[in-house]
Amino acid sequence: MADVTARFLEYVKIDTKSDYDSTANPSTPVQFDLARKLVVELKALGLGDAAVDEKCYVMATLPANIENKVPVIGFVAHLDTSPDISGAGVKPQFVKNYDGGDIVLNKAENIVLSPRDFPELKFYEGQTLITTDGTTLLGADDKAGIAEIMTALERLHKHPEIKHGTIKIGFTPDEEIGRGADHFDVKKFGAEYAYTLDGGRLGELEFENFNAAKATIAVKGRNVHPGYAKNKMINSMIIAMEFNSMLPVRETPFNTEKYEGFFHMTNMSGDVENAKLVYIVRDHDMNKFLARKELMRKIGAFLNEKHGEGTVSVELEDQYYNMREKIEPVMHVVELAERAMRDAGVEPRKTPIRGGTDGARFSYMGLPTPNIFTGGHNYHGRFEYIPVDSMEKAVEVILGIISLYAAK
């Protein structure tokens, strides 16, 4: 299945970085470059209705080749890459027969991918890895998912003897900035169940994720000449630091794992008169999630009481919720994926997502959508890599799921 690698390498050439600050849909027009390419490829593989809409959502249908009625299932991946680092000019590097040691990504800049920092590398001794050149991300999140879906479709196209029901394909824009499901038409998509190909390490199977909110803390100060500022100046930046100091010091991404939630400051800016802190707030447990938001409100109220009403404003915006509530009533979608993995020689690793996927929101829109591994590691940065074997296994799992549904 070298074709999955070839497709992946072709897709990562296309810059599809999304943009937090854009209000357009999609947030960046470059996402259309990959979307239009995929429409052409989908039609060539027999999905004649493939199309991309004005907001850059790609949808397509592979008609069933069996007469018995089986559930319509979908496979979804996202077009965009993270805005955290450049996705332009990606230069993938191959590490064949990986020896378990350091990988020099960029000698000139002394950028090294090391198992001392990323011990998961040791799992892939003897395999072929695809890495970055240390100057950009790789784009496995989620162009690996796209390549795996497209390769599975190619396999079905070349082997019509493989029986399958109706298959729906969806590629979404702006997932990395939390907008991937904003304009996704679940009714038009027409699947009963779906799977996102947007996970990480080989074997990951995820049906629970964080409850998520964005918090924006705005602080108003008062500037006075520092030589005459006694009892007059109000330094908004110092009050902003005071706000942060009142959050639990060990409840940050660096100190948490598994089901532990956190507060994560993603941006800070300001001067004496105005300061702003932006956080993401995460927890798998809804009650704890609500308590985190309430704590931020209480800190804001305390600081207003201390420094004057209107000094601090706390704006909270929910982003997505834990899909487990919607998946549990239809757990067969997870169990079937587990069986497909084991049939492919992959041990399922059911882990909570310390983040979110389009599938989390789809699940609340009436389309239960657990998440499957793509094989990638270290997403959103220059140390991203993916083992070729893991991509090939993902293709096998997709085909296994399709065959198991066809046999129902």
* Distance in angstroms (rounded) separating the CA atoms of residues 320 and 175: 12
What are the distances in angstroms from CA 127 to CA 379, 385, 390? 19, 12, 10
- Nearest Cα to 80, choosing from 9, 133, 130, 145? 145
Encode burial over 59-79: b for 16+ CB neighbours within 10 A, e otherwise.
bbbbebeeeeebebbbbbbbb
Active site residue 285: no
CATH number of 211-320: 3.30.70.360
Q: What is the mean pLDDT of residues 379-383?
A: 94
Share of the chain above pLDDT 70, in %: 100
pLDDT digits 0-9 by tens, 63-114: 999 999 999 999 999 999 999 999 999 999 999 999 999 999 999 999 999 9
What is the pLDDT of the chain when averaged over all its residues?
Answer: 96
Is the pLDDT reported for residue 300 higher than 70?
A: yes
Chain position carrying tokens 């005071």? 242
CATH number of 2-208+322-406: 3.40.630.10
Report H helices in 204-331: 236-245, 286-307, 324-327
**What contacts 12, CB < 8 A, 6 or more positions away?**
90, 92, 138, 139, 140, 143
The one catalytic residue in 174, 175, 198, 208 is 175
Is the pLDDT reported for residue 1 higher than 60?
A: no
Is the pLDDT reported for residue 188 higher than 90?
A: yes
Please give, one letter per residue, the 3-state secondary structure of 50-115: CEECCCCCEEEEECCCCCCCCCCEEEEEECCECCCCCCCCCCCEEECCCCCCCEEEECCCCEEECC
What are the distances in angstroms from CA 211 to CA 133, 140, 352, 360? 35, 24, 11, 9
Is the pLDDT reported for residue 356 higher than 90?
A: no
**Helix and strand element counts for the chain (H, E):** 10, 17
* Distance in angstroms (rounded) separating the CA atoms of residues 12 and 10: 6
Domain parsing of the chain, residue ranges: 2-208+322-406, 211-320
Chain position carrying tokens 């000094």? 311
* Distance in angstroms (rounded) separating the CA atoms of residues 61 and 42: 9
Active site residue 10: no
Is the pLDDT reported for residue 364 higher than 80?
A: yes
* Distance in angstroms (rounded) separating the CA atoms of residues 80 and 177: 9
The one catalytic residue in 41, 80, 208, 396 is 80
